[in-house]
């Protein structure tokens, strides 16, 4: 048994492929690391560094 | 270890240092200490109190906290009023919830990440549990700096 895709437009195939690809990229980006809010937490910095080191501690 | 990180990375504008509270229940003075630094923060002395408490981890009784506030030149009455209330409790509990959601339940721990552009969030890329040697943290920070700026050596920034 053979499957023919003659009924599907090449544009539709390309769009579908692009959708799958962009979806997988979005998934890969989202997978990089969890995002946590730090808006009100005290910070020390000079300038605007992108890299962040978060100290988690309890003083005792 | 943290003073080295401060000198080599924070002061040079390479890394932002953020603090999150994780007062452990087994540490009887930890919650009051967390409140004390938050109250000092109301008078723009968070990091000074932070350093003071780490330097005196065995002396965190209420009288000790008030003494440190006085030594740092804080308005002691305002500090005590803050400490006796609970207005920073929700923030501390938020920190605990966030840290626990990452699988961190002990102290100290260090989260390495990067600011999400245009927001107040950090994307956490690495988690170090326990107190790492400076060399280990340096290696991780340098690797992340190199990844953030391809083709540039971290030493040249």
Say if A18 falls within a structural domain.
yes
Q: Determine the structural domain holding residue A46 and report its residue range.
A: 7-60
Instruction: Please list every residue in chain A whose beta carbon sits closer than 8 Å to the beta carbon of residue B91.
Output: 40
Q: What is the pLDDT of residue A8?
A: 56
Task: Assess if residue A33 is contained within a domain.
Answer: yes
Q: How much is the pLDDT for A12?
A: 54
Please state, for a pLDDT cut of 70, what percent of chain B lies above it. 94
**pLDDT tens, B49-98?**
999 999 999 999 999 999 999 999 999 999 999 999 999 999 999 999 99
User: Is A2 within the bounds of a domain?
Assistant: no
Please, which pLDDT band fits residue B118 given cuts at 50, 70 and 90? confident
From chain B residues 93-112, the ones with a CB under 8 A of any chain A CB are 95, 98-99, 101-102, 104, 107-112
Find chain B residues with C-beta within 8 A of A50's C-beta: 114-115, 148
Mean pLDDT estimate for chain B? 92
Nearest to B55 by CA among B22, B33, B81, B32: B33
| A38 contacts in chain B (CB < 8 Å) | 18, 20, 120-122
In a domain, A17, yes or no: yes
Domain-embedded: residue A24: yes
* pLDDT for B63: 94
pLDDT, residue B156, reads: 43
Tell me: pLDDT of B100 over 80.
yes
Number of domains in chain A: 1
Residue A21 is predicted with a pLDDT of 44
Collect the ranges in chain A with pLDDT lower than 50: 1-5, 13, 15-31
Work out the percent of chain B whose per-residue pLDDT is above 90: 87
CA distance B15 to B5: 9
pLDDT exceeds cutoff 90 at B107: yes
Q: How far apart are CA B142 and CA B124, in angstroms?
A: 16
């Amino acid at each position: 048994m053979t499957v023919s895709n003659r009924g599907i437009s090449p544009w539709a195939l390309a769009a579908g492929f692009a959708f799958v690809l962009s979806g997988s990229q979005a998934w890969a980006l989202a997978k990089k690391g969890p995002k946590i809010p730090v808006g009100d937490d005290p910070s020390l910095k000079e300038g605007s560094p992108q890299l962040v080191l978060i100290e988690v501690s309890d003083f005792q | 270890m943290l003073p080295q990180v401060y000198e080599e990375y924070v002061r040079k504008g390479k890394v932002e240092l953020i603090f999150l509270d994780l007062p452990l229940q087994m540490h009887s003075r930890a919650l009051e200490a967390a409140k004390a630094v938050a109250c000092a923060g109301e008078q723009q002395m968070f990091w000074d109190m932070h350093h003071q408490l780490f330097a005196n981890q065995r002396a965190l009784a209420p009288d000790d906290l008030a003494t440190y506030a006085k030594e740092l030149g804080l308005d002691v009455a305002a500090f005590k009023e803050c400490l006796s209330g609970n207005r920073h409790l929700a923030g501390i509990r938020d920190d605990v919830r966030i840290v626990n959601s990452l699988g961190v339940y002990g102290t100290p721990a260090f989260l390495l990440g990067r600011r999400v552009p245009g927001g107040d969030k950090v994307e956490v890329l690495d988690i170090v549990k326990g107190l790492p040697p400076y060399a280990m943290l340096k290696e991780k920070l340098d690797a992340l700096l190199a990844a953030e700026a391809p083709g540039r050596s971290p030493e040249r920034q």
